[in-house]
Structures are given as structure tokens and as C-alpha cells.
Chain A
Amino acid sequence: MSRRWILWTPLVVFGLILMLVLWGMNRERDDFVRSQLIGDQVPAFDLPPAVAGKPGLSSADLAEGTPRLVNFFGSWCIPCRAEAPQLEALAEAGVPIDGIALRDEPAKVAQFLDQYGDPFQRIGADRDGRLQVLFGASGVPETYLVGSDGTILAQHIGDIRAEDVPGLIRAWKAAP
């Protein structure tokens, strides 16, 4: 029966569609805008201090010889509160962390650090969100791993969760 195969074509077509949507469901789904700067040098910047008693942040600080994390946060950002304990844990493990406070006011930043802990060595104030764009970040919180020569090595989108901490420490230790 040469015509038999034709009866199976609907099933085959359906199977193909099914495979397609199955793949579509299991693919890496992120609607995040990924930074285009991974592998590049940190853009040149010099931010004033975000809070009294702590130095601001400039691109030179990020290329001074040790790999470090740069964390974008805001006192107005709720997930940032959720990730505060994890940043503390990272700091305790010896990872140097710098902060960039987005569209924030010194008093509010101080209150935020008071309430949720302060793992940061330096905190720069990004008043209009320009640096966020220069880093290729689109949301808060977001964390970057910067190499000892000031190269952006990795981007973590969203809040850092407890299970992300060991991986981040490993990545920091392995960083050049």
C-alpha cells in the first residue's frame, strides 16, 4: 500500500509541532536583558558616596588588583532586602563587595544598611540610573563579578539566593 504513509502524515506533523512546543517550554527562558559587556572593561565612571561615612566608587577602584563583586541595589527595592543575608554571607566568606545605590537618597540608604546589614566596602550613588545602563543592567538587584584588572566577568540577574552563594564564591576564587 503506497498510500498508507499519507495517513501517518498528520501524526508526524502533530509530533513535530509537539516537539517544537516541548522544546519551547524547556528552553532557557529569560526575559531579562543580558548585559552586552561581559568580557569587556568596566566603563569609566566616578560616583560620589551614596551614604555618609563610606567612600564612593569609581572604575579605578574596580581595577585595583583583586576580583570583586559589584551589587546594584536600592533602598526602595524589595528583592534587595531578600538578598541582603546572602550578601552578608559572601562578605563573611571574604568576598569584597561594592555597592551602587540606584536613584536613592543618603538617609534612606543609611536606614536600609542599618536594617538589613552592610556588606559593602564602598557604595557609589547612581542618581539618574546612568551607570545602570552603562553596565547593561536593566533591573535591580543585579550583581557583577569584576576581575582584578577591571574586566566584567559575569552577571547575576535578580536576587542572590542561598543556593547561589557557593557558586558565586567559587567563581570569585577562580577569577583572574
Chain B
Amino acid sequence: MIAEAGLAALWLAAALALLQTLAGFGGLGDRLAPLTGALRGIAAAQGLLSLTAFLLLIWLFARTDLSVLLVATNSHVDKPMLYKIAGTWGNHEGSMLLWVTVLALTGGLIALMERKLDARSFAATLGAQGVIALGFYAFLLFSSNPFARLSPPAAMGQGLNPLLQDPGLAFHPPTLYIGYVGLSVAFSFAVGAMLTGKAGPAFARAMRPWVLISWIFLTLGITAGSYWAYYELGWGGWWFWDPVENASLMPWLAATALLHSVSVLAARDALRAWTIMLALTGFAMSMIGTFLVRSGILTSVHAFAVDPERGTFILVLLALYIGGALTLFATRIGSVRQGAPFHLFSREGGLVANNILLSSILAIVLIGTLYPLIAEGLFDEQLSVGPPYFNKTTMPVTLVLMLFLAAGPLLRWRRDGSGSLPRKLLLPAGASVVALVLLMLFAPDAGLLPLLGLIFAAGLAIASLVPLWGRNLLRTPLPIYGMVLAHLGVAVAAAGMASESGFTQERLQAVRYGEEVEVGGWTVQLLGLDPVAGPNWTAIEARVLARKGEGEWILRPQSRNYPSPPMQTNEAALLSRWNGQLYATLGTQDQQSRWQLRLWWKPFVSLIWLGGILIALGGSLALLGRLWRGFRARYTKRVQEGFA
């Protein structure tokens, strides 16, 4: 019964999405105008219904109802509860339901909260949101029904890919989806703006919180995904430029550009067409990303079930939405009134440079990701594009971007004629020089890119704090703190990346019990091996003693075997110190009863993810500041009206 109730809720939600589309776009003309009044209620109800469907699916997974096909194929009676629940969205159908649930809930939230937009833009935005939801409902109901029954019911269930059985990963997809959906909201706002021709500051202010939310979650999602790949795959790397990773990076790049251009539009009423273009690009990238991951047309190291039919469905949606919106852009953008002009040497100019550089990186990543397809299609050549390409091409642009990132926030709006920039940049430049000298003294052969990365990071770290100089710190608005924190986060992450790539030391050795290995100033010794068993796996666990100076620590890397489905994984063991991480994995035994031990010492590697968290935190501060300001304005207005 539960499955049938879930399906019914899904159908009802789809019907409401249709109604929302009609009412929303109807609001543009006059004939359907009466429906528009009901829009808020429709959108809210649609959100509730899809949430109901999703909760029912979670319930089915929680009780392992093996008469439901999806549960039988993706769960197992012996699985721990956390992973039973996470299994709900650890598969194609469930993750699509989660997608549409987040989308519908956001639609409901917009309907209930949005007060800044004029009525017509509001209706058109919700209409666009309805169309997007409708497509995904159709996708779910016609080609990936999560509630389909299995007859006769399965006995045990098939299990879940063991690589995906990890608490971090349980929350990774939802995080990314909130990010993607936030971009779909920005997309809807942009479509609404193009339809009504109103793309001014009000539009930007209405859109900004959603872009911020999306960006915060994408940042967190990418950071968490990178850390997951780092410790779970056991290869010692933190970013592999795999299509699945690029699929999450590209929307982030677009969202970062969009976030900055929205600020210009909100504050200075400039960059109207550009902002709309970025909003469309952001959503296009999240759709293309989803498509690349789901269709399996590019080979990825991350295991995903591949199904051409579903790929086609997403492709059709992609063509309709993005193609439609870009056509709208080409035909209607001329009617969007020209924004305010500005001098190129100004805050706006700096932000434009930031936007262009981010878009360039986006183009480079997109080309590299798609190039295997291009080469096969045009030249009939099979090839793969890996880290050497991406590092070589994106790093120089990123370094230039860091320069602009340091200088941009120090410029004034409209036109910076004060000539104060060199003076403000004095301290950051000093920090860079100090970094250069220190590196030359202590680590002269780290390689050019890591060296440049560390020097630029030092300068950027100081430069990011300069906007606080001379301000009353108690009265500085939260969004300023947010910007400072986020830019500081970029410097911190960049320093971590540069340090990891420049100073990592690796040892791979076959060792006997008691044998010592030296790596990065550590003395590491294999003490022994123990068999261990988890809820659904068995493993050989090594006891590895790591010593440095007086300190002694035990690391326990594992070689794990999962029976259902059969699979072997290497669980890395990490030892975090203030100045880096010791990373150990256990290999196989050789004929002379030696065990392979792979060790890395990675100085300051944690800064990469710390930087990511700082960036997301900065975004959250900005969001809080904006929401608080909006709330206060509304409250003050109401109080004043009360007095009047």
C-alpha cells in the first residue's frame, strides 16, 4: 500500500506542476489571470506532495520492503540502518525523486517567501519552475518509477555498491542536488525576467539568495566529494578530473561567476544580459553534468549503472529547457533595457574580469571533458583526457584569477579614480615576497606551479583581509565578512593544493613484520595483521606504528571484502597532524610473506578542504546578512504601517 500511496502522491504532484505552469505563464496574459491568485497555494501543495512521496520511499527502504523492485535491487536485509535510508537516494530512481522533491520544495518556498518581485515576473518564474518540475515528473513516472513492484518479492536484496557505503557519501548527493536545484531556480528567475523584460536590481535581489544557497551547497558538495575520493578510493589523490567530478565542478564555476555578476546587478544595475546568460549556463551545466553521469556516454571511474533510455530522456529535457531558454535569450534579450554603464577600472570591471576568467576555466573543463567524444566522432580516434591536460590548462588561468581576486575587492564601484590600489596592495605583495624568500630558502625545488601557487596564495590571503582595514568591525555588514572569509578560503585551499602537489612524499614497499620504512620524516613499522569483520564485510586490518620524535601513533589501513555484491576495497588510514597528513594503504601479500604498504606524507593537505569549508561559510554569512536585512526591512515597514 505504501508504494501505491507514494505513486499516487507523485501523480498528484505532477498534475499540480502542470497547473502551476498554466497559471504561471497564464499570468503573463489576461485570460488565465484568475489562476494566478492560486499560484502560491499550488506551488506549496506540490512541494508537500513530492515530499510525501519521497518520505514514503524512505520508509520503504527503512523497512526493506523487498516487494518493491527498487528496494530489492539496491538494499539488503543485513545492511545497517543508516545505509538503508541512504540507499533511498543511492540509486538512479531515488536520486531523481530526491531531485524533484528538492525542486518542488524550493518552488513552494519561493511561493511562500518571495515578496520582492512584481506580480508578473513572480508568476512567470513559478511557471518556468513548473515546467522544469513537470519534465522530471514525466521522467520519473514514465521511465524510472521508484515505486514499481517486484513479483514475487526478493528474498534478501541485492545490496549497495560498497564504495557507496560511507556516511560521508550518504549525504553527498543530496548536497549536490540542492546546489543543482538552486541553479534551476536561478534559471527560472532568468526565464521570468526575459519574458517580462524586467531584469533590474529587483530581479537580482530576488534571485541572489537562491544563487547563494546553490553555491554554498555546491561548494560543500564538491569539498565533501573530494575528501571522500581522497580517503575512500585509497589512491592518495584528492581530485582526479574524472567526468563525474567535472560534472560537479562546471556548475560550481558557473554559479561562482553568476554570484558575482548578480551582486553587480543588484548593487549597480549593470551586466543584465550577462547575468541572465550565466543563470542559463549554470543550469545548463548542472543538467549536462547529470546527463553525462547518468547516460554513461563518458567512461568514469565512479561506478554508475548505465541506461541509454534514461540518458535520452534527460537529453530531451536538456534540449527543451536550455534550447528554449537560449532561443528566448536570442530573441528577447534586446528588449531588456540596457543597464548602467561603468568605467572598466572599477569594482565592476574587476568582477567582469573574474567572470570572464571563470567562464574561460569552465570552457577549458567542458572541452576537456567532451573531447574524447569529439575525437571519436570527428577523427575516429579513441583517447582519454586526464589530469595532465586539466592541470596544465586550468592552473595558469587560475593563477591569473587569483591576481584579480586579490585586487578586485579593493577597487571602488563605478570608477576608481582614487589611485589607492597600489598602496592597498603593498601589504599583500609584501606577503608574497616573504613567501617567495622562505620557499627559496627552504624548498627551492618544489616545482614552478606549486611555488607560484603558494606565493599567490600568501598574497591573496592578506589581500582578502584588506577590505576590513579601517572599518568599524562591529558595524561591518555580514556580507562583507562573507566575502572576506570566502576569498580567504580560496587562498587557504590554493595553499593546500600547492603544498600537496609540491611537497608530497610517497613510499611503496613490501615489508615484513617489524620492518621500518621512512617517509617524510616519519618512521613507519608494520606490527601485525588482524582479521576484522563489519556488518557486511570482512577485512584484513594492518596495525601500523608511525613514529616521529617522541610521538607514536597506530594506523589501521584495511583491505576489505564485501560478499554482496562481491568486491574488494582498500580502506586508507589517515593520521592528521597540524602540519599534514600521513596516509597509509595496505596491499597484498607476496610469496615471501611480505605485505605491500603504500605511504604518503602530505604536508598541509587538509588546507584544501578547510579552504572549501571557509568558502562555504563565507557564502553562509553573506546569505544570513541578506536574509536578515530583508527581514528587518519588512519588519520595520510593518511597524511603520502599524503606526500610520
Contacts and interface: CB of A to CB of B under 8 A. Distances in A.
A104 B609 CA distance: 51
A24 B297 CA distance: 6
Interface in A1-32: 7-8, 10-11, 14-15, 17-18, 20-25, 27, 29
Contact of B315 (A10, A11, A25, A27): A25
Given A7-B329, A10-B277, A11-B330, A17 B370 contact: yes
Contacts of A21: 288, 291-292, 295, 297, 315, 370, 373
B323 A15 contact: yes
Nearest to B299: A31
Nearest to B281: A10
B132 to A, nearest CB: 17
Contacts of B322: 14
Contact of B330 (A8, A20, A23): A8
B315 A22 contact: yes
B326 interface: yes
Contacts of B213: none
Interface string A113-155: 0000000000000000000000000000000000000000000
Interface residues of A, number: 16
B353 interface: no
B374 interface: yes
A74 B370 CA distance: 39
Interface in B278-300: 280-281, 284, 288, 291-292, 295, 297-298
Contacts of B564: none
Given A14-B284, A25-B297, A25-B315, A20 B333 contact: no
A29 B280 CA distance: 31
A17 B323 CA distance: 11
Given A15-B323, A18-B315, A27 B329 contact: no
A8 B319 CA distance: 15
A110 to B, nearest CB: 28
Contacts of A24: 297-298, 373, 376-377
B175 to A, nearest CB: 26
A24 B378 CA distance: 11
A20 B312 contact: no
- Name which of A7, A10, A21 has the most chain B CB atoms within 10 A of its CB: A21
Contacts of A22: 315
B327 interface: yes
B329 A25 contact: no
A20 B318 CA distance: 13
Given A25-B308, A25-B315, A18 B323 contact: yes
B288 A11 contact: no
Contacts of A8: 330
B234 to A, nearest CB: 25
Nearest to A8: B330
Interface string A30-57: 0000000000000000000000000000
B430 interface: no
Given A7-B333, A14-B322, A25 B312 contact: yes
B580 interface: no
B522 to A, nearest CB: 42
Given A7-B329, A7-B333, A11-B330, A20 B323 contact: no
Contacts of B173: none
Interface in B315-338: 315, 318-319, 322-323, 326-327, 329-330, 333-334
A25 B323 contact: no
Nearest to B297: A24
Interface string B231-251: 000000000000000000000
Given A24-B373, A25-B315, A10 B326 contact: yes
Contacts of A11: 323, 326-327, 329-330
B251 to A, nearest CB: 15
B291 to A, nearest CB: 7
Contacts of A29: 308
B311 interface: yes
B334 A7 contact: yes
Contacts of B295: 21, 25
A8 B329 CA distance: 8
A27 B284 CA distance: 23
Contacts of A25: 295, 297, 308, 311-312, 315
Contacts of B333: 7
Contacts of A23: 373, 377
A8 B331 CA distance: 8
A20 B308 CA distance: 15
Nearest to A1: B334
Nearest to B308: A25
A109 B280 CA distance: 61
Nearest to B372: A24
A7 B277 CA distance: 10
Nearest to A13: B326
Contacts of B327: 11
Contacts of B288: 17, 21
Contacts of B312: 25
A26 B479 CA distance: 48
B436 to A, nearest CB: 41
A23 B297 CA distance: 10
A15 B377 CA distance: 16
A10 B329 contact: yes
Interface in B582-605: none
A37 to B, nearest CB: 19
B373 A20 contact: yes
Contacts of B281: 10
B332 to A, nearest CB: 9
A14 B326 contact: yes
Given A22-B315, A25-B311, A27-B376, A7 B330 contact: yes
A74 B89 CA distance: 38
Given A10-B329, A21-B291, A27-B377, 17 more contacts: A10-B277, A11-B330, A14-B284, A14-B322, A15-B323, A17-B288, A18-B315, A20-B370, A21-B292, A21-B297, A21-B315, A21-B373, A23-B373, A23-B377, A24-B376, A25-B312, A25-B315
Interface of B: 277, 280-281, 284, 288, 291-292, 295, 297-298, 308, 311-312, 315, 318-319, 322-323, 326-327, 329-330, 333-334, 370, 373-374, 376-377
Interface of A: 7-8, 10-11, 14-15, 17-18, 20-25, 27, 29
17 contacts: A7-B329, A10-B326, A11-B326, A11-B329, A14-B284, A14-B322, A14-B323, A18-B318, A20-B373, A20-B374, A20-B377, A21-B292, A22-B315, A23-B373, A24-B376, A25-B297, A27-B377
A-B pairs, 9 with minimum CB distance: A11-B326, A24-B297, A7-B330, A24-B373, A8-B330, A10-B326, A23-B377, A25-B311, A25-B297
